[in-house]
A and B are shown apart, each in its own frame.
Chain A
């Protein structure tokens, strides 16, 4: 988005370590332990699933229909993604039980649409919201609620409204990495899913995009398996980790070589890329990839991607962690219970009069 990522408020103010995030959240809960104790909530990722689903209700539009919209789809997904980041940022600053999450959700979507240049009229959104939560959005006050909540959101986010998303990295690398449309689609949905985790607050968008690409390539390796989630996750993790470990090792060796070349003047000078070439198995230079690919084109793609990564200065450890977070999210998704989540949110909203 605007401004380059490296100078962005996102990088400077909205990326945290896991410990920092945990500390911020603990601090919020510690402000009113009774409140937290009286209104238990599902784990954060389940709340995120709830927000994610509510902001894209399936009964309104089947995903097939959304895909047909084509160009407009990407625009709207961008806005939805931005909205989810707003919600995450906001709830690192404000205890969720002090807010009406439905107001926050609708307001985040309203604000994100303006920011992503696809503005929706406040009344259209309010009407939409009322069909989902009739008690939270009453026709006399709903617009005022959203308007007020907008100030609240902007304020807590320090007016840092520009969000860099991984979608852009994905599309810009499609050609360079030789990704098929199916790969891109799958990586795209992995990115959609990552908004239900803490990853947008933990890692830069390009790391997330590359992780999504890796997972997409690995996921499409084999179409026959119908394993339960855990086994699938384990093998996916193994596959992804193997590719990453390979890339990481190559990266490290290239770095060593480059360093060594400088320190020992007698050694023949090698660029890091030729150094890597020397390390690679002789049967797989890039030029011959198609030949090998006839056997297993998917495998070739993963290899090619791993090689590309190893020649980058991408933080591969971050990618390992992203992979684990995503796999563990997919496991945790199995346990998601929409009814309980909804009831627990409604309980504190009602009890504290937050729906007025």
Chain B
């Protein structure tokens, strides 16, 4: 680790044009990226630019990932320069604030040089996409239970840190979760992250589509505009499932935006969720009917196994014909549809059985339909999955998957296989003996981190990925697209930081009426009021019943 940076603020340095004396701006040359860092390879690329691996030239210890934001879209001339993209601004600003947690990737410094932005991060050797991929290689074998537990714990710690700092990540997915060679999990890629504290307008207005589709929460799929931290926890649930089964649990296909730029209902993705989780009901999710796309639910197929009563019914539980009987019938169904079955099949006869019923319950609480009932990061961290020294066998769950009255010690006595999983809250590789994860592949094709506009020297493998990543302009790149690209071409080349999602309007342009003219001025000066004021008031006091302690943090 770059020890100086640990305790000091990240510096941002600008190297601008050296102008002649006649020039209006006298920017100082401060730091050149190539003076400070030696690029040792190219990692990945996305719509924002490229990521390189580097080492320090000036005594910095360790390795670094340098994210280079391109000044313009490929091929466009500098003439069309439109300023720094909003996602780059967000990432720079947020990473500068959020530098105090082991489970969020640490920003070392930002270097501004000509029209390029270089964000220097601590380097992480692995990411979850790569780790999952490794386990699918022959022979396919599950990730060790202790590793999964540690990854989940560290991931939730990082998410909790973001949320207590009023930041939504909005794009959690395996490719964005880094893991260092010492087993520390680090949330990366804050390019889509946003501040949510008392948003002045609906978060929806800024970026119409967020979160890569496989990890997108049901409330987003149903068109909710006021979403919350719960969307990140749904994604965490999806990641948990993927760590268990090595496949995305809800692998839907993204419906593309039509020519009118309206956001389509992601029917296929929602169907994938329903197949496992059952259809959401108003009993379990009271605000369900107020979701903008609520009526679309009637176009979905109920899952086969968990809803036998519906399979030969012409009525559908959604829509205007919904009957009281059916409502009651659905309430009696297994509230989690096929999830318990999914979990059982995934963990049975593997070391993962040791994660026990607690693992299932954590998963079910993260994949809770109702965002208000979904587990928060703080609650998840004290879930028995992490706190209980032993786990209870899955058979202790009662048939509908709800909380069992079974006591762990009872089941132990029952002899049906209570187990303890050894895991470390800070190192997900602790205790691993027979597993060696491959290092991130670093390509030598493009070591030219140089700035400027033409990247004529990128070719072959890296180029393929750029092309794939570039097609999603204007809307969120389907994970189906980017992740496939990552697995095919780029995971080869890293994949970790690639597969970037681009949000609408990200390039600084919400088309704009107004401009600077409209801002501010409201209320005008208080001088007038000041003038009206006359006599001083004696400061008699009244009974205090409020305390400031809580209010101080509200700056």
Report chain B residues within 8 Å CB of A79.
519
Which residues from chain B sit less than 8 Å from chain A, CB to CB? 9-14, 16-17, 22-27, 30, 78, 81-84, 86, 89-90, 92-94, 96-98, 100, 110, 112, 115, 164-167, 194-195, 197-201, 206, 505, 508-512, 514-527, 529-549, 551-555
Report chain B residues within 8 Å CB of A314.
548, 552
Q: Report yes or no: A280 in contact with B542, Cβ–Cβ below 8 A.
A: yes
Report chain A residues within 8 Å CB of B545.
273, 286, 311
Q: Report yes or no: A225 in contact with B81, Cβ–Cβ below 8 A.
A: no
Chain A residue with the shortest CB-CB distance to B207: A117
Complex CA gap A189/B529 in Å reads 10
User: Would you give the 0/1 interface string for A325-356, flagging 1 where the beta carbon is closer than 8 Å to chain B?
Assistant: 00100100110000000000000000011111
B198 in complex: contacting residue of A5, A171, A233, CB < 8 Å: A171
Asked if A29 lies at the interface with its beta carbon under 8 angstroms from chain B, I say no
Report chain A residues within 8 Å CB of B542.
280, 284-286, 289, 300, 303-304, 306-307
User: Would you give the 0/1 interface string for A273-294, flagging 1 where the beta carbon is closer than 8 Å to chain B?
Assistant: 1001101110011110100000
Chain A residue with the shortest CB-CB distance to B190: A2
Report chain B residues within 8 Å CB of A354.
24-25
B100 in complex: contacting residue of A7, A285, A327, CB < 8 Å: A7
Number of interface residues of A (CB under 8 A): 157
A55 in complex: contacting residue of B93, B520, B536, CB < 8 Å: B520
- Which secondary structure characterizes the binding site on chain B? loop
Asked if A148 lies at the interface with its beta carbon under 8 angstroms from chain B, I say yes
Asked if A257 lies at the interface with its beta carbon under 8 angstroms from chain B, I say no
**Nearest CB in chain A: distance from B194 CB, A:** 7
User: Could you list 21 A-B pairs, sorted by A, with CB under 8 Å?
Assistant: A2-B94, A56-B516, A80-B519, A98-B26, A103-B24, A110-B83, A117-B195, A117-B201, A119-B512, A120-B514, A168-B198, A172-B551, A186-B526, A189-B525, A189-B529, A224-B532, A227-B531, A300-B542, A311-B545, A311-B548, A330-B525
A307 in complex: contacting residue of B10, B16, B519, B543, CB < 8 Å: B543
B523 in complex: contacting residue of A60, A192, A246, A353, CB < 8 Å: A192
Count, A-B residue pairs, CB within 8 A: 407
Instruction: Contacts A3-B97, A151-B14, A161-B92 given; indicate if A229 touches B200 (C-beta within 8 A).
Output: no
Asked if A18 lies at the interface with its beta carbon under 8 angstroms from chain B, I say no
Considering the complex, which residues of chain A in the window 166-224 have a beta carbon less than 8 Å from any beta carbon of chain B? 166, 168-169, 171-173, 176-177, 185-186, 188-190, 192-193, 204-206, 215-216, 218-224
Report chain B residues within 8 Å CB of A176.
546, 551
Instruction: Contacts A79-B519, A281-B540, A313-B552 given; indicate if A119 touches B510 (C-beta within 8 A).
Output: yes
**Nearest CB in chain A: distance from B42 CB, A:** 24
Report chain B residues within 8 Å CB of A3.
94, 97-98, 165-167
Chain B residue with the shortest CB-CB distance to A277: B543
Chain B residue with the shortest CB-CB distance to A123: B82
Q: Report yes or no: B92 in contact with A109, Cβ–Cβ below 8 A.
A: no
**Nearest CB in chain B: distance from A150 CB, A:** 6
Chain B residue with the shortest CB-CB distance to A110: B83
A2 in complex: contacting residue of B81, B167, B505, B541, CB < 8 Å: B167
Q: Report yes or no: B533 in contact with A218, Cβ–Cβ below 8 A.
A: yes
Asked if A226 lies at the interface with its beta carbon under 8 angstroms from chain B, I say yes
Q: Report yes or no: B541 in contact with A303, Cβ–Cβ below 8 A.
A: yes
Asked if A269 lies at the interface with its beta carbon under 8 angstroms from chain B, I say no
Asked if A255 lies at the interface with its beta carbon under 8 angstroms from chain B, I say no
Asked if A67 lies at the interface with its beta carbon under 8 angstroms from chain B, I say yes
Q: Report yes or no: B535 in contact with A71, Cβ–Cβ below 8 A.
A: no
